[in-house]
């Protein structure tokens, strides 16, 4: 399927439903045409070097992350690397994150190696292509993109919480979630809800590069806790989350 048709189909689903889920095999066809994944192993290996999320207090040791912020121009076919902005805190209001809102949270920055991979830049461009098709302002303006590397660790005596704040919005325009790895994990189902609480759909990211695309202005999302399939072995869920805000 041609790149533009695949991207258009995903954008149409987000426009209709407020979200879309796509399996990794379909996504890989788009990403291969959009820039490639030849250094995916280098990108994925960077999840082994994340630092604990200190803002989760007693449970912080079960979530690891890194963070970076970028400015993307409007040109959809630009081959230029995204412009990385100076390291800065991640901030959400209490309305969007009742658990940790109102805090300027500083996380360990993403490494230059991870950011410089073709795989990462292709994923960022993929999100821009989909979301830019949703309205004229998104198509012609620049984007502020926050990148979050998450590793949720599950222990025999403690389930991992991908979204400890529960059903929520991120306080942005659009969200792209990409599965990087599931190791020895059960559950982790994403559900999408309307503002009145009505469930609109659910799915589980289980395959490499399965993705979720969300219109954060229209719907809420949350992910169920993850547990080890085999309690005697290490268990974790690795995802890349990219949030997109329209610029001017």
Lowest mean pLDDT among 9-23, 87-101, 115-129, 207-221: 87-101
pLDDT digits (tens, 9 = 90+) for 204-239: 999 999 999 999 999 999 999 999 999 999 999 999
**DSSP sequence for 31-88:** HHHHT--TTHHHHHHGGGGPEE-GGGGGGGGGEEEEEEEEEE-S-TT--SPPEEPPP-
In the predicted structure, residue 61 carries a pLDDT above the cut 60: no
Model-wide pTM > 0.85: yes
Segment 37-48, tens digit of pLDDT = 999 999 999 999
| Class of 3-246 in CATH | mainly beta
pLDDT digits (tens, 9 = 90+) for 13-33: 999 999 999 999 999 999 987
Confidence of residue 161 (pLDDT cuts 50, 70, 90): confident
In this structure, of 82-91, 169-178, 204-213, 218-227, the range with the lowest mean pLDDT score is 82-91
> In terms of C-beta density within 10 A (0-12 exposed, 13-18 middle, 19 or more buried), how is residue 68 classed?
buried
Q: Which tokens is 175 given? A: 């969200």
The tokens describing 64, both together, are: 């690891």
Note the helical H segments in the chain.
3-17, 24-34, 40-45, 112-115, 118-132, 136-140
Task: Give the pLDDT band of residue 195 (cuts 50, 70, 90).
Answer: very high
Q: Which of 10-19, 97-106, 184-193 has the lowest mean pLDDT?
A: 97-106
Neighbours of 121 (CB within 10 A): 20
Q: What is the pLDDT of residue 151?
A: 96
Cβ–Cβ < 8 Å for 96, 169: yes
**Residue 248, pLDDT score:** 54
d(CA 188, CA 237): 8
Give me the half-sphere count of Cα atoms (radius 13 Å) on the Cβ side of residue 46.
Answer: 25
∠88-90-93 over CA atoms, to 5°? 135
Task: Please tell me the predicted confidence (pLDDT) of residue 60.
Answer: 47
% of the chain with per-residue pLDDT over 90: 67
């Amino acid at each position: 399927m041609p790149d533009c048709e695949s991207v258009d189909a995903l954008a149409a689903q987000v426009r209709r439903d407020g979200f879309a889920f796509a399996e990794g095999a379909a996504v890989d066809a788009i990403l291969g045409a959009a820039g490639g994944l030849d250094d995916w192993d280098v990108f994925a290996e960077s999840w082994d070097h994340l630092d604990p999320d200190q803002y989760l207090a007693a449970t912080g040791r079960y979530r690891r992350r890194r963070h970076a912020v970028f400015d993307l121009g409007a040109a959809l076919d630009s081959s230029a690397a995204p412009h990385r902005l100076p390291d800065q805190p991640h901030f959400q209001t209490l309305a969007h994150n009742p658990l940790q809102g109102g805090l300027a949270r500083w996380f360990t920055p993403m490494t230059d190696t991870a950011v410089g991979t073709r795989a990462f830049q292709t994923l960022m461009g993929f999100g821009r292509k989909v979301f830019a098709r949703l309205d004229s302002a998104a198509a012609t303006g620049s984007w502020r993109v926050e990148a979050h590397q998450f590793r949720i660790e599950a222990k025999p005596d403690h389930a991992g919480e991908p979204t400890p704040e529960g059903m929520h919005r991120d306080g942005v325009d659009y969200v792209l979630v990409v599965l990087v790895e599931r190791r020895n994990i059960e559950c982790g189902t994403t559900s999408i809800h309307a503002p009145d609480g009505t469930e609109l759909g659910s799915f589980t990211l289980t395959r490499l590069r399965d993705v979720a695309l969300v219109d954060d202005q229209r719907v809420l999302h949350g992910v169920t806790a993850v547990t080890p399939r085999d309690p005697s072995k290490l268990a974790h869920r690795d995802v890349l989350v990219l949030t997109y805000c329209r610029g001017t």
